[in-house]
Amino acid sequence: MLKIGSHVSYGKDGLLGSLEEALSYGANTFMFYTGAPTNTIRKDIDTDLTLKAQELMQEKDINSDDIICHAPYIVNLANKSDLDKFNFSINFIKNELERCRKLGIKYMVLHPGSAVGISKSEGLKNIIEALNKIIMEDDYTMILLETMAGKGSECNTNLEELKTLIEGVKLKDKIGVCLDTCHLNDSGIDMGLFDDYLEEFDKLIGIDKIHCIHINDSKNELGSHKDRHENIGFGTIGFDNLIKIIYNSKLEGVPKILETPYIGNFDGDKERLYPPYKFEIEMIKNKIFDKDILEKIRAYYR
Ligand code: FE
Ligand code: FE
Ligand code: ZN
């Protein structure tokens, strides 16, 4: 069965709000941050609302194991120059894993980090040290390392780096991978040749390590190292290539999550932004590209 959803907001109703938003898009999975992705301020988990979310999931036949959490992207485990900050990041991610446990969420995506002012190998070493301090035997939630575009000094931008990271982690059954199609394209992997990539991935890492795929088109050329997501079918990867990845039989049970940009629309002189997910999900289910979809989204939300 196709597992398709998008990034959704968290907000005051916590997981319940995220679930309701996902349902409104016709999704059967989703991804959320347990607070703002750009800061580390976190509210306590509301047990009542979490219970309500779990009940609604059951009613709507959504498996909580398919739901993905994303760690805030400002946390940088690659840098150790400020030891207080490094330790704060470690404790913060540990705390996020505990929040996931309370929410009943099995997977948390993490941007491994950027090697600012140090070598890549130094950065990878720091990430491994941090991961080994974070990951514990009795953790409920698994960290998924996201494949990155190679913007600036980002780590985990090719299979060799990913292999280094995974080999460095002591508790190997507690670490997994999240692919991101835009990031792969921008890092230099041709998404038209995805099967070759997957074969190589399986040889080096193992396909069973993949527990989430971010489905995004890219605004930039292959190997641009930019990381700017585009709506499905409007970028350099293209609709057909993305559909082939989404429906790849080797990745059937893996949740596919859209992180495509909101659609802008000028209302007077004020720009409003609309979520494209309901329409992109429908298009993916139909497997037919609709070149007029952006106008339809504007009309729907107007
Ligand atoms: Fe991400
Ligand atoms: Fe992503
Ligand atoms: Zn990205």
The CATH number for 110's domain is 3.20.20.150
pLDDT in tens, 227-268: 999 999 999 999 999 999 999 999 999 999 999 999 998 888
- Determine how β-strand 4-7 pairs with β-strand 29-32: parallel
Measured distance CA(60)–CA(24) in Å, rounded: 12
Helix/strand/coil for 136? coil
Ligand positioned closest to the Cα atom of 212: 2
Cα 48 to ligand 3 centre (Å): 33
Ligand 1 centroid–CA 30 distance in Å is 13
In a domain, 292, yes or no: no
In a domain, 172, yes or no: yes
For residue 274, is it within any domain? Answer: no
Residue 18 in any domain: the answer is yes
Q: Is 74 within the bounds of a domain?
A: yes
Residues of the chain with pLDDT > 90: what percent?
Answer: 90
Split into its structural domains, the chain has a count of 1
pLDDT above 80 for 98: yes
Least confident of 11-15, 261-265, 289-293: 11-15
Q: Phi and psi (nearest 5°) for 121?
A: -65, -35
Letter string b/e over residues 207-219, b meaning 16 or more CB atoms within 10 A of that residue's CB: eebbbbbbbbbbb
Task: Identify the pLDDT of residue 65.
Answer: 97
Which pLDDT score is estimated for 40? 79
In this prediction the pTM is 0.96
DSSP three-state, residue 285: helix
Full domain range(s) for residue 16? 4-264
> Is-contact 240 257, C-beta < 8 A?
no
Query: Residue 288: helix, strand or coil by DSSP?
Result: coil
CB burial of 80-100 (b: ≥16 within 10 Å; e: otherwise) equals beeeeebeebbebbeebbebb
258 lies in a domain? yes
State whether residue 183 is helix, strand or coil: helix
- Angle made by CA atoms 236, 25, 32, in degrees to the nearest 5: 80
Within a 13 Å sphere around the CA of 10, how many CA atoms are in the beta-carbon half?
Answer: 22
Query: Is residue 273 predicted with pLDDT exceeding 90?
Result: yes
Distance 178 CA to ligand 2 centre (A): 8
For residue 236, report the distance from its CA to the centre of ligand 3, in Å.
Answer: 15
